[in-house]
């Protein structure tokens, strides 16, 4: 005894997503057929197709866009500074701060030999071309302080050693509002490394 | 700064589901465009349409089916016993036990005046017609022991008072494998009401 085939099929498709197990997939599929209007389901179905058809990666920076070159790369006011991030979501996070006005470069991954990810598997070679072609003076590496983050950072540093580009990393330490007693040791070590004179 | 329109649109559609907030919707939409194959997304899109087009409620029992009359209602070996459940998922749960071989009737809800749900808002009138037409001898009410469950049960009992049908309720008490010390009081009261001579 199972649900009808078309419902079982929908359940299977929801299960393609990470964090959605059989029970949740069943709940979502039942919600689809019993609570959503036919219009909503039709428009959801269309939205899936549209997203997969229209969304691509910016030819220059690798971020998610529906154009060949994204709006930020096309912005003539942004120049000389380039921030390296892991993925497109990071751009949105930094843009919300309104505190950085350069361009971005999205690696769409990080070097991680343990997971079989080398420099050729991520969008890193285009970075070195851009640094030259776009006359970049300052490079800010905004990657997490993890093993892949450190490895990717070291790689970029080596590749640009004699390029004359100033290379920075974002600051690591205690997040604003966090309690010292709950912070992990590595974060505290980073916070001590990042001490500033008042 | 936001994602491209078609991606934002997809995020909005994922947010239609209960338990999916803005962050989860964003994660699911990004997974759709970056990790799922074009084939998977196309087939997900089709599965949505197919489910909403094909799935309906059984004309007899109200359960989810892709036929006019569901397989269980069409099963000539199932007769005289009818189990009343809240929704189609409950049927699957009971069928897994292989311990009940009658028919089912799905209310698709329960009477709950506090939420403005009366007898006419659920699939309950068809139940009384069926009891007569299908010559039902035993009715088993398998509704949860909640306020709407109790109200619905009382209503069914009143409506079938002089019908000669034997009406049962499923047993309530301590779930198998549960510890008494963690059980709530009402469950323990039900367990005491349900004592059996060994």
A91 touches chain B (CB under 8 A): yes
DSSP letter assigned to residue B14: H
For residue B197, what pLDDT is reported? 79
Give the distance between the most distant pair of CA atoms in chain B: 71
Question: Cα–Cα distances in Å, from A185 out to A146, A147, A171, A196?
Answer: 14, 16, 16, 19
From chain B, the residues in CB contact with A26 under 8 A are: 89
Query: How far apart are the CA of A151 and the nearest CA of chain B, in angstroms?
Result: 24
A47/B3 CB distance under 8 A? no
For residue B45, what pLDDT is reported? 97
Domains and CATH numbers, chain B: 5-54 (1.10.8.420), 76-169 (3.40.1360.10)
ipTM value greater than 0.85? no
A10/B45 CB distance under 8 A? no
Assign A14 to helix, strand or coil.
helix
Res. A186 pLDDT band, cuts 50 70 90: confident
pLDDT tens for A3-22 read 999 999 999 999 999 999 99
For residue A137, what pLDDT is reported? 94
B16/A4 CB distance under 8 A? no
Q: Where are the alpha helices (DSSP H) in B15-116?
A: 22-34, 38-54, 71-74, 88-97
Q: Are A120 and A72 in contact (CB under 8 A)?
A: no
Chain A 47-86, residues with CB within 8 Å of chain B CB atoms: 47-55, 64-67
For residue B2, what pLDDT is reported? 82
pLDDT tens for B75-121 read 999 989 999 999 999 999 899 888 999 999 999 999 999 999 999 99
Q: CA of B7: which chain A residue's CA is closest?
A: A51
Assign B170 to helix, strand or coil.
coil
How many Å apart are CA B69 and CA B58, to the nearest integer? 5
Q: Which of A180, A90, A182, A167 is nearest to A191 (CA)?
A: A180
Beta strands in A74-143 (DSSP E): 81-85, 103-106, 138-141
How many Å apart are CA B110 and CA B118, to the nearest integer? 8
How many Å apart are CA A5 and CA A2, to the nearest integer? 8
Question: pTM for this one?
Answer: 0.79
Query: How far apart are the CA of A197 and the nearest CA of chain B, in angstroms?
Result: 35
pLDDT tens for A103-117 read 999 999 999 999 999
pLDDT for residue A66 is more than 70: yes
B7/A51 CB distance under 8 A? yes
B175 touches chain A (CB under 8 A): no
Q: How many residues does chain B have?
A: 198
Which residues does chain B have with pLDDT short of 50? none
Res. A178 pLDDT band, cuts 50 70 90: confident
For residue B185, what pLDDT is reported? 87
């Amino acid at each position: 005894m199972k649900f009808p085939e078309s419902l079982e099929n929908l359940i299977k498709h929801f299960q393609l997503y990470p964090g959605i197990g059989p029970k949740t997939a069943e709940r979502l599929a039942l919600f689809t057929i019993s609570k959503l209007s036919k219009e909503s389901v039709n428009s959801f179905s269309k939205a899936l197709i549209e997203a997969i058809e229209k969304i691509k990666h910016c030819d220059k920076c690798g971020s998610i866009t529906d154009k060949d070159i994204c709006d930020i790369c096309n912005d003539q006011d942004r120049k000389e500074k380039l921030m390296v991030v892991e993925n497109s979501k990071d751009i949105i996070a930094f843009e919300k701060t309104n505190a950085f006005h350069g361009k971005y470069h999205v690696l769409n991954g990080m070097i991680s030999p343990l997971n079989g990810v080398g420099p050729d598997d991520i969008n890193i070679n285009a970075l070195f071309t851009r640094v030259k072609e776009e006359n970049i003076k300052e490079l800010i590496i905004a990657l997490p302080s993890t093993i892949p983050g450190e490895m990717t950072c070291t790689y970029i540093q080596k590749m640009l050693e004699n390029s004359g580009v100033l290379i920075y990393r974002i600051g690591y330490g205690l997040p604003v509002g966090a309690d010292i007693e709950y912070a992990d040791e590595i974060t505290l070590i980073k916070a001590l490394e990042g001490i500033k004179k008042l």
